[in-house]
Structure 1
Amino acid sequence: MRSIVLVALGAAVGAYAVTRMQRTPKGREMLDGADARVREFTDAVRDGYASRDRELRGE
C-alpha cells in the first residue's frame, strides 16, 4: 500500500513540475526537446521490432 502512495505522490509532483515548466519559454523548449528524443527512441524501437518480426516470419 505504501508503494502505491509513493507512486501517486511522485506522479503528482511530476505533473506539478511539468505544469510549472510549461509557463516559461526555456521550460517549454526543454520539454519539447525531451518529447522529440522520446519520440525518436520509440520510433527506433518500433522499427526494430517490425524488422525483427519480418525476419522471424521469413518475409
Structure 2
Amino acid sequence: MKKLLFLAVGVAVGVLAARKLEETEKGKRFFDGVDSRTREFTDAVKDGYRSRDRELRGE
C-alpha cells in the first residue's frame, strides 16, 4: 500500500512539474518536440502493423 501511495505522489508531482514547465517557451518547444516524435513513432508502428497484416492475409 505504501508503494502505491509513493507512486501516486510521484505521478502528481510529475504532472505538476510538467504543467509548470509547459508554461515557458522552452518547455513548450520541448513538449512539442516530444509530441512530434511520439506521433512519428506511433504512425510507423501503425504502418508496420497494417503492412504485416496485409502480408499475412495475402492481399
Mark the CA change 1:3 to 1:49 in structure 2 (over 3 Å): closer, same or farther: farther
Q: What runs of 5+ residues in structure 1 fail to find an aligned partner?
A: none
**CA deviation after TM superposition for structure 1 residue 16, in Å:** 0.7
Matched residue pairs, number?
59
Equivalent residue, structure 2, for 1:48? 48
Q: CA deviation at 1:6?
A: 3.1
Shift of 1:8: 1.7
User: In the alignment, which residue of structure 1 is the partner of 2:18?
Assistant: 18
TM (norm. structure 1) is: 0.86
| In structure 1, C-alpha distance between the alignment counterparts of 2:13 and 2:56, rounded to whole Å | 43
Unaligned runs of 5+ in 2: none
Show structure 1 runs of 4+ deviating over 6 A: none
Residue type of the alignment partner of 1:18: A
Relative to the length of structure 2, the TM-score reads 0.86
What's the Cα RMSD here? 1.3
